[in-house]
Amino acid sequence: MLKVIVDRTKWFRGHGIENSQLLRSDGRMCCLGFACLAAGLSPEQIGESQSPGPVYRVEKWPETLLSLIDKNEDHCNSKIGYRLMTLNDDMLIDDNSRETHIRQEGEEAGIEFEFIN
């Protein structure tokens, strides 16, 4: 299981999908951005991509994150990947619920999320 530490001070969440990215130009990340960095991808590799799929297409993808990829989907994102992105960006849930659900979905994906700060 991949251990991922999500620093709430750098975590971009709850603002809808339009502005969310793995790693934004302001340094803030969605939960999957933290996962990508924890798995060994660099900030340059994930910078300003909205989801793992486009990064998967051009970079050597870490085996620990294969659960986020579905090569048969147009954008290469798996169902669990989409669920994690949706939970991260949902504007209608509070952070306690968001973190609980991300932890649960993360376990299914082989990712252990821990939230700090």
pLDDT value at residue 79: 94
pLDDT tens string 45-64? 999 899 998 898 777 888 89
Q: Which domain holds residue 107?
A: 2-116
Take residue 41 and report the two structure tokens written for it.
């991808």
pLDDT tens string 8-25? 999 999 999 999 999 999
pTM: 0.94
Split into its structural domains, the chain has a count of: 1
For 51-71, b/e burial (b = at least 16 CB within 10 A) is bbbbbbeebebbebbebbbbe
Q: Which of 92, 70, 89 is nearest to 80 (CA)?
A: 70
With beta carbons less than 8 A apart as the criterion, state whether 76 and 98 touch: no
Mean pLDDT of 37-45: 95
